[in-house]
């Protein structure tokens, strides 16, 4: 997998910018999340997949004992562990494992929780 800088045109992972919501917004587009999920400032191509808008209001309530950051991180790292009740498709979730770095996951979480 190409580093964040090569994929999204942002500074390398050791830069503080990779953990910002702006970097997360770039990743949300570059990694194709926007194809299936509505984000804070985007609309998806498909409607069966959970909306990720207003995640700060609901992400901390999905799994007992998990705060919003932990829930979103788990959903990105190991998407098949828990299928969102907002998923409207048939069968298991088709969410792919994206193989993102911790910095990239943090940036996506910051973006999704920004408000």
CATH of the domain at 37: 1.10.760.10
In a domain, residue 7? The reply is no
Q: Tell whether 90 is covered by a domain.
A: yes
Please say whether the beta carbons of 69 and 49 come within 8 A: no
Chain segment 87-101, per-residue pLDDT in tens: 888 877 788 888 899
Give me the phi and psi of 3, to 5 degrees please: -65, 160
The arithmetic mean of pLDDT across residues 58-84, rounded, is: 93
- Return the C-alpha torsion angle 74, 80, 82, 88, nearest 10: 120
Is position 4 within any domain?
no
Q: Is residue 5 part of a domain?
A: no
pLDDT digit string (tens) for 55-66? Answer: 999 999 999 999
Q: Please check whether residue 80 lies inside any domain of the structure.
A: yes
For the chain, the domain total comes to: 1
DSSP one-letter code for 27: H
What is the percent of the chain where pLDDT is above 70? Answer: 83
Q: Which domain holds residue 93?
A: 13-112
Q: Identify whether 3 is part of a domain.
A: no
């Amino acid at each position: 997998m190409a580093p964040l800088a090569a994929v999204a045109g942002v500074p390398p992972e050791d830069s503080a910018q990779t953990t910002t919501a702006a970097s997360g917004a770039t990743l949300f587009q570059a990694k194709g999340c926007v194809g299936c999920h509505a984000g804070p400032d985007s609309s998806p191509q498909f409607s069966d997949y959970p909306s990720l808008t207003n995640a700060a209001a609901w992400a901390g309530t999905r799994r007992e004992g998990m705060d919003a950051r932990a829930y979103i991180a788990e959903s990105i790292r190991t998407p098949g562990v828990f299928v969102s009740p907002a998923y409207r498709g048939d069968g298991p979730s088709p969410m792919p494992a994206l193989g993102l770095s911790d910095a990239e996951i943090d940036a996506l979480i910051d973006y999704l929780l920004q408000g």
